[in-house]
Amino acid sequence: MKAIVPIKRVVDPYAKVKPTADGAGLDSGGAKFEINPFDEIAVEEAVRQKEAGRFTEVVVVSVGKGECEEQLRKALAIGADRAVLLETQEPLDSPAVAKVLSEFVAAEAPHVVLMGKQATDDDNNQAGQMLAAILDWPQATFAAKTDFAADKATVVRETDSGEETLELPYPCLVTTDLRLNEPRYIALPGIIKARSKPLEKRPLASVPAPKSSVVSFAPAPARPPGRKVGSVAELAQAIKDRGVF
């Protein structure tokens, strides 16, 4: 079975970025960039399934500028077989990304698309669901456990009321959650092997028009100082005064 894993280049989640002076963008100068953590979990899961003999090929794909090559090389070092960069200089929103990926997936004809449930930069949690809708594929989101048998995929997802187990025919799409696995440490041999693995760059002939755009960025409001209360009754009254209940 072939698996495709879309990955996104994001600012290191532990780095702090600030809006530019005019609020038109974010100042990421000097910041480190990484694979979106949820996407890295998806890469790890796909590679584990290949090591277990269930996947025969793992293809990673990214949509964006040439700098994304760094993250694709890291995915190859984790164990992916080949990488494809769909190059564009234009900013894309979730519907546009889903449209571009749908065309790539249709051409590659995989059995499974594994991708992170959301990106840590915009936190939209939309691209996976939109991609499944365009492809008209069954989907399972927020996967905490997976089992890819020969005839079907079984996905356990955590909900507010407990665990839910879904069975999906192939082809299908699965989005990954934090509890699925912990990505491996990339050793030097993996990094060296990644240099010789194929990484193809394909300029996008046409870019879908975004359906939304960012108007402005603003820093989060300062957190108000705390206050001490003398009793539970005073605490309850303070909460009530804030209109919580």
Q: Is the pLDDT of residue 144 over 90?
A: yes
* 0.85 exceeded by pTM: yes
**pLDDT score of 245:** 67
Average pLDDT estimate for 62-88: 96
pLDDT of 39 above 80: yes
Give dist(CA 35, CA 41) in Å, integer: 10
Mean pLDDT of the chain: 92
Q: Does the CA dihedral 228-229-230-231 come out positive or negative?
A: negative
**What pLDDT is stored for residue 188 in this prediction?**
87
Distance separating alpha carbons of residues 67 and 114, to the nearest angstrom: 22
| pLDDT beyond 90 at 223 | no
Cβ atoms 231, 116 nearer than 8 A: no
Please give the average per-residue pLDDT across 138-146, as a whole number.
96
> Torsion angle of alpha carbons 124, 220, 23, 128, nearest 10°?
-10
Residue 201: its H or E element: strand 199-203
Residue with tokens 């532990």: 14
- The reported pLDDT for the residue numbered 150 is 94
Report how far apart, in Å, the C-alpha atoms of 128 and of each of 35, 95, 140, 185, 187 are.
Answer: 16, 10, 10, 26, 30
For 108-139, write each residue's pLDDT tens digit: 999 999 999 999 988 899 999 999 999 999 99
Find which of 71-75, 184-188, 201-205 is predicted with most confidence, using mean pLDDT. 71-75
Domains of the chain: 2-241 (3.40.50.620)
Question: pLDDT-derived band of residue 210, with 50, 70 and 90 as boundaries?
Answer: confident
Query: Whose CA is closest to 7, among 79, 56, 74, 53?
Result: 74
